[in-house]
């Protein structure tokens, strides 16, 4: 039987506010346990929530960016369950009246564009963290994260392969960072992904029973977990069994999903409107303000890069995935006097390699866009060769100097002076008559010997085109 | 709709309420009476009335996004039964 995979995603994006969604406690990551958990976050009796304006604005901004309907009135609801890292005994979330309604996002897979529906996005608070290391047989609770604002983004079950799911997650990941509403850090848990997967025979209308996979904190894990889960479900059905609706955890070490012991009645959350919070009203003036504040979005930027800079679709995609990289690129192009293609090669090639190697984000690149642009300018005007430019980039990495200063200081300027090169060639030929004879006898590969010797003599500074031209004509004399 | 003993036990469990076995019957009957009242209200035609989320006819006031709280961990942990390394300690929970 041929199977079709059906995937829907729930993404929790931690909103980049300074304070929590309902209290004035800090949301900064990495603080000492419980030093950023105030009486409201702890659910102390008598405390009341006050909604953070920025969280609302961020949610609206997101909704506008995916062309969604923004609810003029949205309502907070209580999702009731007991767990020690949820001190109030309920999570304040949104249920039947979310702030962001139906929207959409385009993804590209294998050269094809596909539109993925975004069912809704709602505001909610995060829970704390349980530490299961052994505290004398007890569990440690850190509530610093409790009350951190989240935007839960729920997709339609529109994806049909792991590749589509990953493309969608990456698109969202790029988008929330463009909008500046989420830092996107998957390691720190600012951008988390739960995947709903089911399979059905090709042609069947109704969906199969789905399993939800949690704990996916990298794009690679999402892809692997889906692939594994699809295989598991097909195996279950093929061997006469039935897929049960459950939550499964992905174990990256073993590359498998396993069932979380599902607690009895775990899904009976008994939602009801939160009496402590009034409905949230989104005025048309706020909508206008947020619409005006939208930056150029990734898809538009990608298209502009292709047109304005003559880049390929692939290069434009790579350069616009991160807003910071796109900004860096455009700055560098300006400083290079418009060497768009060459700058693209250097940003995606040598610079990215160095950033990866040192595990540095492009925002913190030791080589600024201005300095990289200056370097590319000198390649373009043939002051230095591409090979020497790599040396200069290395020197720039560990200094504050410009390309021009380093080229000057290290004497790296390319030798294009025909007279000087000719003199060196004459001398080299006189010293190596054997090789000259061989070349003239038809062993044309021998030119490599001369190029090598001259590059060695000039420490790579001879202009390669000029050198080749001169050698060809002299050896043939 | 009448509430049965099983419903009472389920609701009590979900709300983590301890109920003595001999109380179950009387809770079932009390809750059933409430449901009767609810059913009575359901008779009213509300088809042209917009459901409200809150009895106050106002919208939520918003707070400017600034950090106002300082670290009060010592004070806030004074009534915790067990703490260590700044953490609250609770009976072991296994997922």
The per-residue pLDDT for range A229-255, each reduced to its tens digit, is 999 999 999 999 999 888 898 888 888
Q: Are A450 and A428 in contact (CB under 8 A)?
A: yes
In a domain? residue B92: no
Is there a contact between A90 and A179 (Cβ–Cβ < 8 Å)?
no
What's the structural domain count of chain B?
Answer: 1
State whether residue A24 sits within 8 Å of chain B by CB.
Answer: yes
Verify whether the Cβ–Cβ distance A35 to B82 is below 8 Å.
Answer: no
- The residue-averaged pLDDT of A415-443 equals 82
User: Is position B94 within any domain?
Assistant: no
B35 within some domain: yes
> Looking at CA atoms only, how far is residue B3 from chain A in angstroms?
17
Nearest to A467 by CA among A362, A397, A387, A410: A387
Q: Of A28-32, A155-159, A415-419, where does mean pLDDT reach its minimum?
A: A415-419
**Contact at 8 Å (CB) between A218 and A186?**
yes
Query: For A24, which DSSP code?
Result: S
**What CATH number is associated with residue A441?**
1.10.10.410
CB-based contact (8 Å) between B73 and chain A? yes
A84 to chain B, any CB pair closer than 8 A? The answer is: yes
Supply φ then ψ for residue B81, to 5 degrees: -65, -35
User: Considering A386, A410, A434, which residue would you say is the last residue of a domain?
Assistant: A410
- Higher-confidence residue: A91 or A215? A91
In order of A133, A135, B79, the CA distances from B73 in angstroms are 21, 19, 11
> Are A24 and B90 a contacting pair at CB < 8 A?
no
Are A138 and A205 in a shared domain?
A: yes
- Between the two ends of chain B, the Cα-to-Cα distance in Å is 35
The answer to whether residue B38 is domain-embedded is yes
Host domain of residue A383: 296-410
Crossing angle of the two packed helices B24-42 and B5-14, in degrees rounded to 10: 90
Portion of chain A with pLDDT greater than 90, in percent: 74
Residue B73 and residue A34: Cβ atoms within 8 Å? Answer: yes
> Residue A89 pLDDT > 50, yes or no?
yes
Flag whether B12 is in a domain: yes
Return the DSSP state at B53: S
Domain count across chain A: 3
Of A336, A181, A217, A337, nearest to A351 by C-alpha is A336
Q: What is the rounded average pLDDT for all residues in chain A? A: 92
| Chain B residues in contact with A249 (beta carbon < 8 A) | 95
Same domain, A12 and A127: yes
Same domain (yes/no): A267, A312: no
Which of A20-34, A35-49, A461-475, B63-77 has the weakest average pLDDT? A461-475
Task: Give pLDDT, residue A423.
Answer: 84
Same domain, A358 and A259: no
Verify that A391 and A453 share a domain, yes or no: no
Same structural domain, A379 and A440: no
Q: Which chain A residues in 274-303 lie under 8 Å from chain B, judged by CB atoms?
A: 275, 277-281
DSSP one-letter string for A204-231: --S----EEEEEE-SHHHHHHHHHHHHH
- Is the CB of residue B91 less than 8 Å away from at least one CB of chain A? yes
What is residue A273's predicted lDDT score, i.e. its pLDDT? 94
The whole-number average pLDDT for the span A27-48 is 96
What ipTM score was computed for the predicted complex, to two decimals?
0.91
Residue A418: the pLDDT is 76
Q: What is the pLDDT of residues A252-266, one digit of tens each?
A: 888 888 887 554 445
Q: Out of A35, A53, A140, whose CB is closest to B84?
A: A140
What CA–CA distance (Å, rounded) separates A12 from A18? 18
Is there a single domain that holds both residue A346 and residue A226? no
Interface check B14 vs A, CB under 8 A? yes
| Size of chain A, expressed as the number of residues it contains | 477
**A256/A332 same-domain check:** no
What is the per-residue pLDDT for A437? 84
What letter does residue A350 receive in the DSSP assignment? I
Q: Distance between CA A218 and CA A451 in Å, rounded? A: 48
List the one residue out of A40, A125, A39 whose CA is nearest residue A76: A125
Domain boundary among A390, A410, A430: A410
pTM (two decimals): 0.85
Strand partners, A208: none
Give yes or no: residues A79 and A190 share one domain.
yes
- In angstroms, the separation between the Cα of residue B27 and the nearest Cα of chain A is 19
The band of B95, judged by pLDDT with boundaries at 50, 70 and 90, is low
Task: Give the residue numbers spanning the domain of B38.
Answer: 5-42
**pLDDT tens-digit series, residues A199-210:** 999 999 999 999
In tens, the pLDDT along A319-372 reads 999 999 999 999 999 999 999 999 999 999 999 999 999 999 999 999 999 999
Check: CB of residue A218 under 8 Å from CB of residue A225.
Answer: no
Residue A264, pLDDT score: 46
pLDDT band of residue A473 (cuts 50, 70, 90) is: confident
Confidence (pLDDT) at A181: 97
Q: What is the pLDDT of residues A382-427, one digit of tens each?
A: 888 888 899 999 999 999 999 999 988 887 887 777 778 888 888 8
Residues A329 and A203 in one domain: no
User: Same domain, yes or no, for A402 and A465?
Assistant: no
Nearest Cα to A329, choosing from A299, A360, A356, A302?
A302
Note which residues in 27-56 of chain A have CB less than 8 A from chain B: 32-39, 42, 44, 50-56
Which residue is closest to A56 within chain B, CA to CA?
B62
Q: Is A56–B67 a contact, with Cβ atoms under 8 angstroms apart?
A: no
B90 lies in some domain: no
């Amino acid at each position: 039987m041929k199977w079709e995979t059906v995937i829907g995603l729930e993404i929790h994006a931690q909103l980049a506010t300074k304070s929590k969604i309902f209290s004035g406690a800090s949301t900064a990551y990495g603080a000492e346990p419980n030093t950023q958990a105030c009486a409201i976050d702890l659910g102390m009796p008598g405390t009341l929530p006050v909604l953070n304006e920025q969280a609302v604005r961020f949610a609206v901004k997101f909704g506008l960016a995916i062309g969604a309907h923004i609810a003029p009135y949205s309502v907070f609801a209580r999702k009731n369950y007991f767990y020690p890292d949820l001190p109030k005994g309920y999570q304040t979330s949104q249920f039947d009246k979310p702030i962001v309604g139906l929207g959409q996002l385009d993804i590209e897979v294998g050269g094809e564009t596909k539109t993925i529906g975004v069912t809704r996005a709602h505001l909610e608070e995060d829970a704390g963290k349980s530490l299961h290391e052994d505290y004398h047989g007890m569990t440690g609770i850190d509530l610093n994260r409790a009350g951190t604002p989240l935007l839960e983004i729920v997709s339609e079950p529109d994806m049909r392969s792991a590749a589509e799911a990953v493309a969608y997650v990456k698109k969202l990941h790029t988008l929330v960072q463009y909008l500046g509403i989420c830092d996107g850090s998957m390691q720190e848990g600012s951008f988390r992904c739960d995947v709903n997967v089911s399979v059905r025979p090709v042609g069947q209308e109704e969906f199969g029973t789905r399993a939800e996979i949690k704990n996916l904190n990298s794009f690679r894990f999402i892809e692997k977990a889906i692939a594994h889960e699809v295989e598991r479900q097909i195996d279950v059905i093929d061997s006469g069994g039935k897929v049960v609706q459950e939550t499964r955890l992905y174990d990256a070490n073993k590359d498998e999903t396993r069932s979380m012991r599902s607690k009895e009645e775990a899904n009976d959350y008994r939602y009801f409107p939160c009496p402590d919070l009034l409905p949230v009203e989104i005025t048309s003036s706020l909508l206008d303000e947020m619409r005006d504040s939208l930056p150029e979005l990734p898809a538009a930027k990608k298209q502009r890069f292709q047109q304005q800079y003559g880049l390929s679709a692939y290069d434009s995609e790579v350069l616009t995935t991160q807003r910071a990289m796109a900004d860096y690129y455009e700055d560098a192009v300006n400083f290079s006097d418009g060497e768009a293609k060459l700058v693209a090669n250097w940003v995606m090639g040598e610079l990215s390699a160095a950033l990866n190697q040192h595990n540095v984000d492009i925002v913190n690149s030791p080589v600024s866009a201005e300095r990289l642009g200056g370097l590319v300018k000198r390649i373009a005007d043939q002051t230095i060769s591409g090979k020497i430019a790599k040396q200069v980039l290395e020197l720039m990495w560990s200094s504050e100097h410009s390309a021009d200063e380093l080229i000057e200081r290290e004497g790296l300027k390319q030798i294009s002076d025909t007279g000087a090169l000719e003199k060196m060639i004459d001398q080299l030929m006189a010293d190596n008559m054997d090789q000259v004879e061989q070349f003239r006898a038809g062993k044309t590969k021998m030119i490599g010997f001369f190029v090598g010797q001259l590059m060695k003599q000039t420490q790579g500074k001879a202009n390669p085109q000029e050198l080749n031209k001169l050698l060809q004509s002299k050896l043939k004399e | 709709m009448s509430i049965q003993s099983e419903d009472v036990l389920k609701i009590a469990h979900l709300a983590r309420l301890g109920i003595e076995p001999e109380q179950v019957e009387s809770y079932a009957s009390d809750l059933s009476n409430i449901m009767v009242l609810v059913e009575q209200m359901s008779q009213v035609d509300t088809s042209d009335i917009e459901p409200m989320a809150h009895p106050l006819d106002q919208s939520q006031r918003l707070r400017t996004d600034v950090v106002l709280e300082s670290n009060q961990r010592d004070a806030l942990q004074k009534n915790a039964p067990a703490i260590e390394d700044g953490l609250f300690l609770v009976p072991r929970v296994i997922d």
